[in-house]
Amino acid sequence: MHARYDSAPPEKRLLICCARVAMQPHIAQEARRIASGPLDWEYLAAAAAENSILPLFARNLLSLARDAVPLAWAAHLQRAALASSARSLQLTAELIRILAEFRARGIQSIPYKGPVVAAQAYGELALREFEDLDLILRQRDASAAHALLLDLGYRPRFRAAVSAQGRSATAIPGEYRYFDEARGILVELHTERTFRHFPVAPRWDEFALRLASVSLSGHQVPTFCAEDALLMLCVHGAKDFWERLSWIADVAEMIQAHPALDWHSLARRAESLRVQRMIAVGLLLAVQILDVPLPPEAFRRANADRVASEIARRLSRRLNSRAPQQWGACQRFQYRRHLVPGRRPGWEYAWRLAFAPADEEARAAQLPPPLSSLHFALRPLRLLRKHGAFGAARARTGASLPPE
């Protein structure tokens, strides 16, 4: 383990050791050493679940150091891992069913994250914990997909998800969420209009030209090619502040599962969408946290971005903390402002996300049509109320980010 982990509590160091499919000998040795010492097992089990790495953690820990794990906690981890595996199989079967129905109605969709990332990056469904299903489709197909999911027993998570023209009922970007209450399954539909966290709206048709195929329970399922999948994973992690270790593990395992990644092509696509810094942060986190070896040119490009390096350093420090500080609205705004290279594009990106409410916010506080524009004014106030200005407990944040 690197010196950067010296200040991290042993529980966090053990989680990081076990958050990978394959362990190098020195990582396995470190995991055994930590497991044999005093540990807060209640915190450890809760943190593994919170970071969505419980199946990986249980498999690695129990195979390396079962004798060091108290019997009650070993049984708990085994049960939790089995429950996660059963849930993964249930969701995978449901994804296959939905895709078949989409094909029957002529709706082309691209599943991503969840089962396809488990197969594409981890090589085994049971190793990647996931909670819902995500599919991307064309905006013009949103209305047909809405009707299909209603026929399959799903109901919109909020009020009517799409209009007859396939547009958001509130015309505000966000996922289209559908829930099967009887089975506890959540399906999220995304279109080219709902990718609000991209600085430049991605073109669905361009992604569709580069699809790959993965095998899920004997069924061939289309998904993003490795380069596009890595791009999407980095944008998703950046969107949610890289708060879960599983999102960094996704990046790490995708890189290692695809040694022939076309890094130059990835860089070109990233620049066209202005997400090159988001990708740089994701790559640096995979290197710093999970010791992923990057090709020299890819590492040089990511590390040359001083702002990306500083963001990754701060995120690593948060992740290594036993109780990470929750960022307030101001810190979140500054983080997003620095995610996009360039002073003006960065400010425009942060302001857009600060003022454009997501679907769930607009639907939770319904306003008459003449007053709908007030949602844009109310969103900053909601963010301040939800997160506070500077988080629950303001801490020293270190030096300012380097200038552009």
Q: Model confidence at 214, in pLDDT bands (50, 70, 90)?
A: very high
Domain end point (choices 324, 355, 377): 324
* 291, 306, 324 - which closes a domain: 324
Res. 189: pLDDT tops 60? yes
Residue 133, beta-bridge partner list: 187
Host H or E run for residue 3: none
Please list the alpha-helical segments (H only) found in 187-225: 204-208
Among 32-46, 73-87, 163-177, name the one with the lowest average pLDDT: 163-177
What pLDDT score does 363 carry? 52
What's the domain count of the chain?
Answer: 2
* H-helix or E-strand spanning residue 144: helix 142-151
Does pTM surpass 0.85? yes
> Does 356 lie in the same domain as 302?
no
Of 63 and 195, the structure prediction assigns the larger pLDDT to 63
Q: What is the pLDDT of residues 92-149, one digit of tens each?
A: 999 999 999 999 999 999 999 999 999 999 999 999 999 999 999 999 999 999 999 9
Domain co-membership, 137 together with 279: yes
pLDDT of amino acid 396? 38
Percent of the chain surpassing pLDDT 90 = 72
Residue 367 sits in which domain range? 327-404
How many alpha carbons fall within 13 Å on the CB side of residue 365?
14
CA 267 to chain centre: 20
Q: Are the C-beta atoms of residues 91 and 97 closer than 8 Å to each other?
A: no
Give residue 166's pLDDT. Answer: 47
The pLDDT of residue 173 is above 60: no
Mean pLDDT of the chain: 86
Which residues, including other chains, have CB under 8 Å from residue 76's CB and lie 6 or more apart? Answer: 45
- On whether both 193 and 334 belong to a single domain, the answer is no
Q: Are residues 348 and 252 in the same domain?
A: no
User: For every residue of 67-108, which 3-state class applies, written as one string?
Assistant: HHCCHHHHHHHHHHHHHHHHHHHHHHHHHHHHHHHHHHCCCC
Residues 6+ apart with CB under 8 A from 308: 277, 280, 281, 284, 302
For residue 225, CA distances in Å to 108, 110, 148, 199 come to: 16, 11, 27, 21
Last residue of a domain, one of 324, 359, 387: 324
The 10s digit of each residue's pLDDT in 45-98 is 999 999 999 999 999 999 999 999 999 999 999 999 999 999 999 999 999 999
Residue keyed to tokens 């078949």: 100
Residue 159: pLDDT band by 50, 70, 90 thresholds?
Answer: low
Provide the CATH number for the domain around residue 128: 3.30.460.40
pLDDT reading at 360 higher than 70: no
pLDDT single digits (tens) 318-352: 999 887 778 888 899 999 999 999 999 999 999 88
Angle at 89 between CA 84 and CA 91, to 5 degrees: 90
Q: Which pair of tokens denotes residue 90?
A: 């249930």
Between 351 and 283, residue with greater pLDDT:
283
Q: Is the pLDDT of residue 40 over 80?
A: yes
Q: 182 vs 92, 100, 130, 185, 186, CA distance in Å?
A: 17, 21, 18, 8, 11
Q: 97 and 238 share a domain?
A: yes
Regarding whether 126 and 71 lie in a shared domain, the answer is: yes
Contacts of 74 (CB under 8 A, 6+ apart): 62, 66
Range 231-243 average pLDDT = 96
Structure tokens that stand for 392 in this block: 């629950």
> Is residue 151 over pLDDT 70?
yes
Q: What is the per-residue pLDDT for 400? A: 44
Residues 218 and 100 in one domain: yes
The H or E element that residue 372 is part of is none
Across the range 391-395, mean pLDDT stands at: 47
Tokens of 320: 């290594």
Q: What are 305's two structure tokens?
A: 């971005």
